[in-house]
A and B are shown apart, each in its own frame.
Chain A
Amino acid sequence: MQQFPCPYCGLRNETEFHFAAESGKTRPDTNTPIDDKHWSDYLYQNYNPKGTSKEVWMHLACREVFLMTRDTVNMDVLEVQALRGEHHD
Chain B
Amino acid sequence: MYTYVHNKQEADPMTLPYSAWQIAKQSLTNHKNWTPAWRTKQPKKHYDVIVIGAGGHGLATAYYLATQHNIKHVAVLEKNWLGGGNTGRNTTAIRSNYFYPESVALYDLSVRLYENLSAELNYNVMFSQRGMLVMAHSEAEMEMASRMTNAMQINGTDAELWGRKKTAKRIPVLNYSDTARYPIHGGVWQSRAGTGRHDAVAWGYARAADKAGVDIIQNCEVTDFIVEGGRCQGVNTQLGEIRGEQTAMVVAGHSSPLASLAGFSLPLHSYALQAFVTEPIKPVLDTVVFSPSYGTYVSQSDKGGLVFGGALDRVPSYGQKGNLPMQEQVITGLIEMMPIAQRAKLLRHWAGIVDVTPDSSPLIGGTPLPGLALNCGWGTGGFKAIPAGGFLTAHYLAKGGHHEISKPFDLSRFERGELIDEGAASGIAH
Name A residues whose Cβ lies closer than 8 Å to a Cβ of B: 1-2, 13-15, 18-19, 36-37, 40, 43-51, 53, 55, 72-75
Between-chain CB contacts (< 8 Å), 15 pairs: A14-B315, A14-B323, A19-B314, A36-B416, A36-B417, A37-B415, A43-B358, A44-B267, A44-B414, A45-B266, A45-B267, A46-B265, A48-B355, A75-B319, A75-B323
In this complex, what residue of A is CB-closest to B317?
A72
Task: Give which listed residue, A18, A50, A55, contacts B256 with CB less than 8 A.
Answer: A50
Please tell me if the beta carbons of B417 and A46 are within 8 angstroms of each other in the complex. no
- How extensive is the interface on chain B, given as a class? 20 to 34
How long is the Cα–Cα vector from A18 to B414 in the complex, in angstroms? 24
Not counting A14-B323, A50-B270, A73-B319, a sample of 18 additional A-B residue pairs whose C-beta atoms are within 8 angstroms of each other reads A1-B323, A1-B325, A2-B315, A2-B323, A2-B324, A14-B314, A43-B358, A44-B414, A46-B265, A46-B269, A48-B266, A48-B355, A49-B260, A50-B254, A50-B257, A51-B318, A72-B316, A75-B317
In this complex, what residue of A is CB-closest to B265?
A45
How long is the Cα–Cα vector from A50 to B254 in the complex, in angstroms? 8
Please tell me if the beta carbons of A19 and B316 are within 8 angstroms of each other in the complex. yes
How long is the Cα–Cα vector from A72 to B325 in the complex, in angstroms? 17
Q: Which residues of A contact B358 (CB under 8 A)?
A: 43-44
Count of A-B contacts judged by CB separation below 8 Å: 73
Task: Give which listed residue, A14, A40, A47, A51, contacts B415 with CB less than 8 A.
Answer: A40
Interface of B is mostly: mixed
Name B residues whose Cβ lies closer than 8 Å to a Cβ of A: 254, 256-257, 260, 265-270, 314-319, 323-325, 355, 358, 414-417
| B374 → A minimal CB distance (Å) | 14
In this complex, what residue of B is CB-closest to A38?
B415
Q: Which residues of A contact B260 (CB under 8 A)?
A: 47, 49
How long is the Cα–Cα vector from A50 to B318 in the complex, in angstroms? 6
In this complex, what residue of A is CB-closest to B329?
A15
| B7 → A minimal CB distance (Å) | 38
How long is the Cα–Cα vector from A74 to B319 in the complex, in angstroms? 6
Task: Give which listed residue, B318, B324, B415, B416, contacts A72 with CB less than 8 A.
Answer: B318
7 smallest beta-carbon distances between A and B, as pairs: A48-B256, A44-B267, A40-B415, A50-B318, A40-B414, A50-B257, A44-B414
How long is the Cα–Cα vector from A75 to B355 in the complex, in angstroms? 17
How long is the Cα–Cα vector from A34 to B270 in the complex, in angstroms? 28
How long is the Cα–Cα vector from A2 to B324 in the complex, in angstroms? 8
Q: Which residues of B contact A45 (CB under 8 A)?
A: 265-267
Please tell me if the beta carbons of A48 and B324 are within 8 angstroms of each other in the complex. no
Please tell me if the beta carbons of A48 and B316 are within 8 angstroms of each other in the complex. yes
How long is the Cα–Cα vector from A86 to B237 in the complex, in angstroms? 45
How long is the Cα–Cα vector from A2 to B321 in the complex, in angstroms? 13
Please tell me if the beta carbons of B319 and A46 are within 8 angstroms of each other in the complex. no
| B113 → A minimal CB distance (Å) | 30
Q: Which residues of A contact B316 (CB under 8 A)?
A: 19, 48, 53, 55, 72
